[in-house]
Structure 1
Amino acid sequence: MKRSRSSLVHQVTYAFKNPRKILPHLRRLARDTWFRLRTRDHVAYYRAVMKSDTARDPEGAVGSHTHRRWLALGRMQFDYLVEHGLKPECRMLEIGCGNLRAGHLFIGYLHTGNYYGIDISPDILMAAQDTIAEHGLGDKLPHLTPVRDLRFAFLPDEHFDVVHAHSVFSHSPLDVIEECFAHVGRVMKPGGWFDFTFDRTEGKEHQVLREDFYYRTETLIALASKYGLQARFMDDWERLPHKQSKIRVTRPADAL
């Protein structure tokens, strides 16, 4: 994507081509203003967004407007990670696990107790508990924890083989992403890897209503490198039916 979705020209052109979306956008703008005035930082702001969205539809809150799409996107994430190195014996941390769109597949695949899901939204984690019950996954003893930030202070050193974050950084300002990079290496095993998706732009980096953030690939790769993490763009992810891009970050075996 080269053009900025935040530009007035883009917004007017889009509205002209999609008149039915004008009213929903105005509602979203009003909600954004209300939450922005009542919250102290971006995490608190987005926690309020997720509470609002989850109350209407937990699957819609994680970006799936039909159950069929929820299943398809979860399967796509799962298949990709299995094809790229996820094994049943791996310990996995999923950042922004939501209502376990992909998580229910990871839980079923991994050895008992090896799945850890965290999210800033207690409301969506309640929906995640429903997903565990609906899919009969209680015996796999998944860990689900609400968090205030991405410092991972309660998690042990060098514990996870795989870290995963889908549609998290697409909703995060750069300081939140940097906080994650600053601390994620500590909880990863040497040689462990961290896959995350993001909204990619080849033009000016920008955000829309503090909910959608667009970054250049080189920005995120350089930021990961600042904290001793090696990052590479995952070209083969681009062939899949998803609008976001993916980067894999690896903790070198001799890091930290």
Structure 2
Amino acid sequence: MHQTSDPRLMKNRSRLGHKVRYALRHPARVPTHLRRAGRNAWLRLKHRGNHVAYYRAVMASDTARSPEAAVGGRPSHARWLAIGQMQYDYLVEHGLRPEDRMLEIGCGNLRAGWRFIEHLEPGHYYGIDISPDILIEAKKTLVRYGLQAKVPYLTPVDNLKLDFLPDSWFTVVHAHSVFSHSPLEVIDECLAHVGRVLAPGGFFDFTYDRTEGREHQVLGEDFYYRTETLVRLAQKHGLTAHFMDDWERLPHGQSKLRVTRSEARVTG
């Protein structure tokens, strides 16, 4: 198992002591945090027991303020472009080919997706998201970059069972900053079904917020998992998960696992 001595991976952001220290270091951020905490508490109460419905409401609220910030957390177009470019470059370096058939889970407003669509053959990109609001913004991104002829599919979903998608079809499945906002039961649901839609030799890359201390969550939005927890969850569903060390060198703040249901194809 991958090991690191990075002290940031031992932080428990849900503890009161951490919150107090963070507030003292960043007092200007306190009002925003309090507003978000109040909004989230109300939405969790309104959608009690249904995380997808709760987070859909979070996304609707965030998208209304700033679609780019809703998928990236920072209201900066330059940051939106940079994170999308990073995702794209990484997959291309790992062998993403124009003929690949790609499913992007949590495609958002196509921060990386527009680059994937441009790279892939027409009809080879399928993006899903739980937020209809962000998918409307995704369509605007398609128009902005003139990608209509690539005929991508964009579909809202209310779970990650993937039951409307064909067996053994997608050679690449990708989810950036999705499981970092998901409780374990949502991740389990996805891993229980993603193997069915993966083509032989295909892979599923997903990022997550990694901790080497106690697993925890903040505001019902940000979830921190130990790598071994997700590896075991994948194994439960007959999948093999591999920690992507080379992803760690990139400036993004999350870790990445690659999941396969068979021997990974040779690339490069």
Which interval holds the TM-score relative to the shorter structure? over 0.9
Partner AA of 2:67 in structure 1: P
Q: Distance in 1 between matches of 2:191 and 2:199?
A: 14
Partner AA of 2:244 in structure 1: M
Tell me, yes or no, if structure 1 residue 154 matches structure 2 residue 170.
no
**1:221 pairs with one of 192, 207, 231:** 231
Q: Distance in 2 between matches of 1:65 and 1:226?
A: 38
Identity between Structure 1 and Structure 2 (%): 68
**1:135 pairs with one of 145, 162, 169:** 145
Tell me, yes or no, if structure 1 residue 231 matches structure 2 residue 241.
yes
Q: Which residue of 1 aligns with 2:68?
A: 59
1:92 CA drift (Å)? 0.1
Q: Distance in 1 between matches of 2:31 and 2:199?
A: 48
Give unmatched runs, 5+ long, in structure 1.
none
1:143 CA drift (Å)? 0.2
Question: Which string of whole-angstrom CA distances, capped at 9 and with x for unpartnered residues, describes residues 102-151 of structure 1?
Answer: 00000000000000000000000000000000000000000000001000
Q: Aligned runs of 1:234-249 on 2, under 5 Å?
A: 234-249=244-259
Q: TM-score, normalised to structure 1's length? A: 0.98
Q: Distance in 2 between matches of 1:220 and 1:87?
A: 27
Q: Aligned runs of 1:39-188 on 2, under 5 Å?
A: 39-40=47-48, 41-63=50-72, 64-188=74-198
1:190 CA drift (Å)? 1.3
Question: Which string of whole-angstrom CA distances, capped at 9 and with x for unpartnered residues, describes residues 143-200 of structure 1?
Answer: 0000010000100100100000000000000000000000000000111100000000
**2:18 pairs with one of 10, 17, 41:** 10
Q: Distance in 2 between matches of 1:170 and 1:239?
A: 19
1:37 CA drift (Å)? 1.3
Q: Distance in 2 between matches of 1:198 and 1:210?
A: 15
Q: Distance in 2 between matches of 1:143 and 1:233?
A: 29
Q: Distance in 1 between matches of 2:209 and 2:11?
A: 13
Partner AA of 1:7 in structure 2: R
Q: Which residue of 2 aligns with 1:36?
A: 44
Partner AA of 1:28 in structure 2: R
Residue-pair matches, total: 254
What SS is found at the alignment partner of 2:252? coil
Partner AA of 1:42 in structure 2: H
RMSD of aligned Cα (Å): 1.0
Q: Distance in 2 between matches of 1:130 and 1:150?
A: 24
Q: Distance in 1 between matches of 2:115 and 2:200?
A: 25
Partner AA of 2:137 in structure 1: A
Runs of 4+ with deviation above 4 angstroms: none
Q: Distance in 1 between matches of 2:53 and 2:78?
A: 30
Q: Distance in 2 between matches of 1:32 and 1:231?
A: 32
Question: Which string of whole-angstrom CA distances, capped at 9 and with x for unpartnered residues, describes residues 221-245 of structure 1?
Answer: 1100110111010000010011000
Q: TM-score, normalised to structure 2's length? A: 0.93
